Structure 1
Amino acid sequence: MGDKKTSAALPASGAGLLRFFEDETKGVKVDPKIVVSVPISLIIVSWLLDILLIP
């Protein structure tokens, strides 16, 4: 009985949903922290420039 449960595929993997995230693609690998921090820092810099340079 234990072998039957471990060999059964989950519905998500059977539908191909997990396979999308397992595939490696070519391209530049960027850390998610950088993806989040760069736009936030640009927003903060633009706010500071707006506050300090335009009276």
Structure 2
Amino acid sequence: MPKQAKKRKGKKGSGPMPSGGAGLIRFFEDETPGVKIGPTTVVILASILIVATIISHVWYLATN
């Protein structure tokens, strides 16, 4: 008598994996709480932080 694999039941309302993404990316339509920041904003803020860090290092070296 062969062993049968147990089927895992997914969460209620979970859909199939997208075929175009080969199962690597799954899109969720549920809204999550928290701050919503776009990728452009993140890149701009990261660039500002990098520039400010470089300026502070140069300023520190120039004054000492």
TM-score with structure 2 setting the length: 0.46
Instruction: Give the number of the structure whose alpha-carbon radius of gyration is greater.
Output: 2
1:12–1:37 CA distance, 2 compared to 1 (3 A): same
List per-residue Cα deviations over 1:1-44 (Å, max 9, x = no partner). xxxxxxxxx8517x7x23x2x22112221232221111211111
Return structure 1 stretches of 4+ with deviation > 2 angstroms: none
Aligned with 2:55 (options 44, 48, 51): 48
Identity within the alignment, %: 33
Cα distance, 1:32–1:11 mapped onto 2, change above 3 Å: closer
Whether 1:25 aligns to 2:32 is: yes
Give the unaligned 5+ runs of structure 1. 1-9
Q: CA RMSD in A?
A: 2.5
Select the residue among 12, 19, 31 that pairs with 2:18.
12
Query: Counting helix residues as a fraction of each chain, which structure ranks higher?
Result: 1
Structure 2 gap ranges (5+): 1-15
Task: State the partner residue of 1:35.
Answer: 42
